[in-house]
Amino acid sequence: MAKKLTILIFPQEGSSRVKRLSFPRFLLPFLLILIVGAMGLAGYWFSQYHGAVGERPNLQAYQTRGDRQAAQIEAFAQRLEEQQRQMAKLKAFNKRLREMANLKVPSQQDDYFGVGGREDTASGPGIRLSATRGERRLQMLQRDLDRLGAEGEAERQVQRHLARFLSERRSILASTPAIWPTRGWLTSGFGPRISPFSGKRRFHAGIDISTRRGAPIVAPADGVVTFTGREGGFGRMVAINHGHGIVTRYAHLKSYKVKVGDKVKRGQLIALVGNSGRSTGPHLHYEVLLSGVPTNPLYYVLD
């Protein structure tokens, strides 16, 4: 049996020389394996190339989608930053209102409602960490959005508190006798005085405003009429309950323009100046009682 294999290569026409290649017979299996391996490797790379060419449109679509999502995330982040700036302005405005209203400013611990749950960066059994930068960015934005929502609810509660407070104060202001009930001359003030009838020192529980007979008397604040009629030395009298413990009384009247149970507004006509009862001349005796105790009406008059 031959130990060598010989391959003859015949030349093209015009050449008479024949080429001869000889190699040991034991190399034949290796050559076959080499040839088959080369063909297989070439086929594999061809298939990979063909697959890559086929997936190229999909890859481009994924890239476009990723770019679009990145742009959306950036736009969302910008809107969130704007909302955070607006929230900061709202908090500053609410704080200023509370200070102006002399309300307690909440401490740092009271700024937000209780919130809980794990942070997105925590790890542990069953917790999947963010795999991409985009996912991590989205988680951070979601956390900021949740915090902004909690801050917004807290500020809405502050505004409701302020609204209630201001509403109560508005009711108190509307019920405070802050204007003159009639125009004229102050002939007798509040406090001790010499009685024009007895000549003795007596306590005067109101003020006397001298003016022409029939001059209009108006309600100095909102309230409800609780009395109209004669009251001893006061003659014809009207009493108005303004709420919050405040009652006003108007004495020595000529006539009434309201009746018991009427709701009156500040500036509304309630009576006319007269000279009824124990009086030396046409004038209005005007009293303000706080929880039943006479107080100086001038403390309340603003105009």
The residue among 52 and 161 whose pLDDT is bigger is 161
Note the pLDDT of residue 160: 77
Query: 204-222, pLDDT tens digit by residue?
Result: 889 999 999 999 999 999 9
Superfamily of domain 185-299: Glucose Permease (Domain IIA) (2.70.70.10)
DSSP character at residue 272? E
CA torsion sign for 108, 112, 117, 121 is negative
Note the pLDDT of residue 119: 45
pTM above 0.85, yes or no: no
DSSP character at residue 265? -
Place of tokens 């700024």: 111
CA torsion sign for 136, 137, 138, 143 is positive
The residue among 255 and 199 whose pLDDT is bigger is 255
| Dihedral Cα 201, 202, 206, 208, nearest 10 deg | -50
* pLDDT band (50, 70, 90) for residue 110: very low
Place of tokens 């030349």: 11
- Judged by phi (left if over 0) then psi (alpha if -120 to 50, else beta), residue 235 lies in left
Q: Which of 47-61, 62-76, 197-211, 281-295 has the highest mean pLDDT?
A: 281-295
Q: Which residues contact 224 (CB under 8 A, 6 or more apart)?
A: 240, 241, 261, 262, 263, 264
Q: Whose CA is closest to 224, among 257, 252, 253, 247?
A: 247
Mean pLDDT across 18-27? 70
* pLDDT band (50, 70, 90) for residue 108: very low
| CA dist., res. 81 & res. 173, Å (int) | 41
Q: Whose CA is closest to 92, among 115, 114, 111, 113?
A: 111
Mean pLDDT across 46-54? 70
Note the pLDDT of residue 56: 65
Query: 244-283, pLDDT tens digit by residue?
Result: 899 999 999 999 999 999 999 999 999 999 999 888 889 9
